[in-house]
Amino acid sequence: MKQKLNLYLAAPRGFCAGVDRAIKIVEMAIEKWGAPVYVRHEIVHNKYVVDGLRDKGAVFVEELDECPTDRPVIFSAHGVPKSVPAAAEHRNMIYVDATCPLVSKVHIEADRHNQNGLQMVMIGHAGHPETIGTMGQLPEGEVLLVETPADVATLTPRDEDKLAYITQTTLSVDDTVEIVKALQNRFPNIVGPHKEDICYATTNRQEAVKAVAPKIDALLVIGAPNSSNSKRLVEVGSNAGCNYSQLVQRAKDIDWRAMDGVKSVGITAGASAPEILINEVIDAFKDRYDVTTEIVETAVENVEFKVPRVLREPA
């Protein structure tokens, strides 16, 4: 007889509007211009999604100079430094920018502060494509990066009274609050965004995990190891009291020994994980346990972003 198990499905989970739009952009570009279409950097951080698009005719490269000039190139949802579209124009390439509109909003913000003579402090993760893209909107030295509250103490801005801060869109909401506090304590005149730059999808997924946490013995986050928002969900689960909070890419990655004696499991997914992988994990539990599922919903998302006009026009 199968052991009973309660599965709590966090909602919202999985794809966000920016990821949805980015994937659609690649598919529509292949439809419009035929294969191959080049994509600079993984369009979104998910192997299953990337492999699926590769099968349809997308070629993923790390840098623009790996692309031939006679094929279209797409820039990933994470955003790119200003130098990248400039280089594409210089080479007379057709390019489509799949940067998430909420990341573009941060780029515009940084630009505006820069025009007003403010130096930027970016709260983000060094080396993450989104951070590289956002810092690359402004000239060298105009954006200072902080990753932790401790980093704030070591900042050496040009002028302490002429600062503004922006954040990566996929950070932990709680961690960011601490860093912002440290910035405001040290630089009382620092200018912040009207509303946090952390996007609605990141915030909503973290809130849903917090709501699920008290009900469960273990949390599984479906997502990629290089996905910032997925890794933050694991941390949020741990901080909310889940003794076992783990990232898995697919059902085959579940450590079933760790599930011994567990009576309730929470399931969520990062913003670039498709529903098919979530269902795969649920099915794996149903194979092994007598499962009762419950949805824990903390928000309803109905955001949709239009694809660029170039893709809506006939070839």
Which residues are annotated as catalytic?
130
Whole-Å CA distances, 293 to 191, 267, 284: 45, 10, 13
Could you give the CA distance from residue 28 to residue 307 in angstroms, rounded to a whole number?
A: 9
Could you give the CA distance from residue 272 to residue 169 in angstroms, rounded to a whole number?
A: 14
Closest CA to 229 of 270, 278, 198, 201: 270
Closest CA to 17 of 97, 95, 101: 101
**Pairing, β 163-167 against β 119-123:** parallel
Closest CA to 23 of 76, 84, 81: 76
Could you give the CA distance from residue 31 to residue 26 in angstroms, rounded to a whole number?
A: 9
- What is the number of helices (H) and of strands (E) in the chain? 11, 12
Asked if 269 contacts 277 with a C-beta cutoff of 8 angstroms, the reply is yes
